[in-house]
Homo-oligomer: A and B are copies of this chain.
Amino acid sequence: MAAFDALSDILRERYLLGSTASTIGWDQETYLPPAAVDHRAAQLSYLSGKIHELGTNDHFRKALEAAESESLPEQAANLREIRFQFDRATCLPQKLVEESSKVSSLGKAAWAKAREDNDFASFAPHLEKLLAIAREKAEAWGYEDEPYTALLSGYERGATTTEVATIFDELRPQVATIAAEAVERSKSVPADLLLGPAPIGDQVTLNREIAESIGFDFDSGRIDTTTHPFCTTLGPRDVRLTTRYDENDFASSLFGVLHETGHGLYEQGLPSDEAHLPSGESVSLGIHESQSRLWENHVGRSRPFWEKWLPRAQELFPHLRQLDLDTFLAAVNRADYTFVRVEADEATYDLHIILRFIIERRLLNGDLAVTDVPGAWNELFQELFGMTPPSDSLGCLQDIHWSMGGLGYFPTYTLGNLNAAQIFAAAMKKSEIKQAFEKAETRPLLTFLQQEVHAKGSSLLPQVLLREATNEAPSASSYVAYLKGKYLE
């Protein structure tokens, strides 16, 4: 047997176990009876141990080395990524891995309580430990410019802190200006325009019709209900989305579904025969988020889209019948400052991310002490938003990410926005895609994404993928142009 095939067999076994763990993880979020949570945790911990073991033991190392010596050119990209993951997984001392898992688990519980009690002081010692572990990991993983890069590149392969900082520095004043203007202009749009009776059954119907019409394959996926919406893949033809329903706000579940459907279309577009290989896996969070934001915002908040769908929404939700298309579009594109990131709109979202990036980077570099986080947060918030959070719960305690050790994750949200705009603009340069889109026919757009993004898996680094898909270097210019077009014209 060829060496790469032998390696592939191990990866296939790991994928069987990994997708099994994902399945019982999905069940935990959707249908698990409350008292069953301890046993589910034991199952997941057992499986993740086995999965880790399969991909890090000596047997795997030898199989990888053999495949590398074989040097099949068509497997070079897969081997590059397998090696990256293997080295990252094996270079951490076992003690650090165990400590990290323990500290994250305690950190998550402490954070939930601290947020509830608006008590940053009780979370601070946990954040201190989480930060120390993140620093240790960064040293083990290595970096080109500064420690933050080692964390970031776990989520955004190949990205560096320097590059991100350059882009964010360029973005910040522009977004701040656009946001201020957008918020000002939105003052004429009542915040509750879209609210009104929306029976859940009818929301389910509309969401499904829309998800199906933009290409989500319900033979290979489904939508369920959870408190926190997500998209997870349980197998090569099994993509599960979730959303939540507010009986008075159809738009909240609908835009949630559009977002998750964007993730789901990416997953359904990956090469399913290679699901166990990097070439069958999504490439980075910044590219994943680009797909969700593209469908949620560039498509889902556009005029052509609602020319098509507003009549159907009005059929199901009679309170919308009093709104004309322009008013409706103004409502779904309304901007306002919020303290909380997950409630932010397109005009203000990136300010939340830029703030987090600055704080995280300073923490990692030792330029900011943990105890000074609330002060730094509030000061920066005042600078960016012109207001100060009334509590840490609505400030530096609002997000779960740090408590789980997820330092370095936040920038991928804004990278997703930038990538979405750059990819969408590239697609719209093709007249047949643009013409169809103007009639709310998105199949050509999806075909473009499938060919240029989805089908590539992790064969290309994210930056290369983006460059090849758009014929441009990664930059903020398409995104800024998009925001300006939406909010300033």
Chain A contacts to B: CB under 8 angstroms:
13, 16-17, 19-20, 23-24, 27, 31-36, 38-40, 42-43, 46-47, 217-222, 224, 234-239
In the complex, which residues of chain B have a beta carbon less than 8 angstroms from the beta carbon of A221?
Answer: 33
Most buried by B among A38, A42, A234: A234
In the complex, the 5 A-B pairs of residues with the closest C-beta atoms, listed nearest first: A36-B238, A39-B235, A35-B237, A35-B220, A35-B219
Contact A36 to B217, CB < 8 A, known contacts A16-B46, A24-B24: no
A16-B42 contact given A23-B23, A23-B27, A27-B23, CB 8 Å threshold = yes
CB distance from A338 to the nearest CB of B (A): 35
Chain B, residue nearest A46 (CB): B16
Kindly list chain B residues whose C-beta atoms are within 8 Å of the C-beta of A38: 237
Contacts of A40 in B (CB 8 A): 235, 238
| Bound CA span A237–B39, Å | 8
The reply to whether A238 and B16 contact each other, CB–CB distance below 8 Å, is: no
Copies of chain A in the complex:
2
| Cα distance A218–B36 in the bound complex, in angstroms | 11
Which of chain B's residues has its CB closest to A26's CB?
B27
Nearest-CB distance from A234 to chain B (Å)? 7
Also in contact, A39 and B27, with CB within 8 A (given A33-B221, A221-B33): no
Q: Would A234 and B47 be within 8 Å (CB), given that A24-B20, A27-B23, A42-B16 are in contact?
A: no
Which chain B residues border A239 with CB–CB below 8 Å?
33
Other 16 A-B pairs with CB < 8 A, given A13-B46, A17-B46, A19-B43: A16-B42, A20-B20, A20-B43, A23-B23, A24-B24, A27-B27, A33-B222, A33-B238, A33-B239, A35-B217, A36-B234, A36-B235, A36-B237, A39-B237, A39-B238, A40-B238
User: Looking at the complex, which one of B20, B33, B42, B237 makes contact with A33 (CB distance below 8 Å)?
Assistant: B237
Question: What is the CB-to-nearest-CB distance from A427 to chain B, in angstroms, rounded to a whole number?
Answer: 27
Which of A20, A38, A47 neighbours the largest number of chain B CB atoms within 10 Å of its CB? A20
**Chain B proximity of A56: nearest CB distance (Å):** 19
- Nearest chain-B residue to A239 (Cβ)? B33
Q: Which residues of B contact A224 (CB under 8 A)?
A: 31
Q: Which of A31, A36, A42 has the most CB of B within 10 A?
A: A36
**Could you tell me the distance in whole angstroms from the C-beta of A349 to the nearest C-beta in chain B?**
32
Q: Which residue of B lies closest to A268 (CB)?
A: B35
How far apart are the CA atoms of A234 and B40 in the complex, in Å? 9
A237 to B237, CA, bound (A): 30
Which of chain B's residues have a CB closer than 8 A to the CB of A31?
222, 224
